[in-house]
Amino acid sequence: MKRQSYPVTNIGSVSLLMTFIVLCLAIFATLSLSGALSEYHYSQKIAQHNQEYYEASNEATQLLREIDRILHAAYANGSGSFYTASEELLTGLGGISMDFSLEQPTIAYEVSINDTQALKVILTLNRPDQTASGYYKISTWQEIPSTTWEGDDSLNLMNYQ
């Protein structure tokens, strides 16, 4: 009796290769989904920060417009010193700090962006004979931390009792 011979095919290696390819595709899909999700959350944080910054910038610009109006009134008044009149009129405006003891006086204020940051604005007043270019120069318009950072640099490697 003659034995039947079957064609030699290696079904095991093909199945193993297909399983490996499907596994690789599933891992890459999971990694790309994870990366896309983290990018989405990061872009949401950036969008929130930008919205908060521009809202604070609008508030700072409105306060700057009020300061500009007061400085214009002090310059147009013409009675006495421009700096003295400016200081008197700006005293009624809350939320600003002034230093008129310098050669070029400064006006500073901060607008809160969020719990941890603020927008700091410092204006340097021009001399009364140089008001053709404006009553002030914006020296600083920057984000600053509104809380102090307290780093913990202690290392308790071994505790001896």
C-alpha–C-alpha distance, residues 66 and 149, integer Å: 33
Phi, psi of 37 (to 5 degrees): -65, -40
> pLDDT tens across 101-128, in order?
888 899 999 999 999 999 999 999 988 7
Average pLDDT over residues 70-80: 79
C-alpha distances (whole Å) from 105 to each of 12, 51, 134 are 85, 32, 14
For residue 84, is it within any domain? yes
In which residue are the tokens 């969008």 written? 47
For the packed helices 11-77 and 82-90, what is the interaxial angle rounded to 10 degrees?
Answer: 120
For residue 123, is it within any domain? yes
Average pLDDT over residues 87-100: 86
Tokens representing 108 are 């500073």
Average pLDDT over residues 11-37: 92
Q: Which residue has the higher pLDDT, 149 or 44?
A: 44
Per-residue model confidence (pLDDT) at position 80: 62
Tokens representing 154 are 């202690």
For residue 122, is it within any domain? yes
Tokens representing 75 are 């310059």
For residue 152, is it within any domain? no
Task: Return the closest-CA partner of residue 115 out of 57, 72, 52.
Answer: 52
Per-residue model confidence (pLDDT) at position 12: 76
Average pLDDT over residues 38-43: 96
Whether the predicted model's global pTM rises above the 0.85 cut: no
DSSP one-letter string for 16-56? HHHHHHHHHHHHHHHHHHHHHHHHHHHHHHHHHHHHHHHHH
Q: Is residue 139 within 8 Å of residue 125, measured between CB atoms?
A: no
pLDDT-based confidence at 151, cuts 50/70/90? confident
Domain residue limits at 57: 36-145
| Structural domain count, the chain | 1
pLDDT-based confidence at 66, cuts 50/70/90? very high
The residue length of the chain stands at 161
For residue 86, is it within any domain? yes
C-alpha–C-alpha distance, residues 69 and 89, integer Å: 10
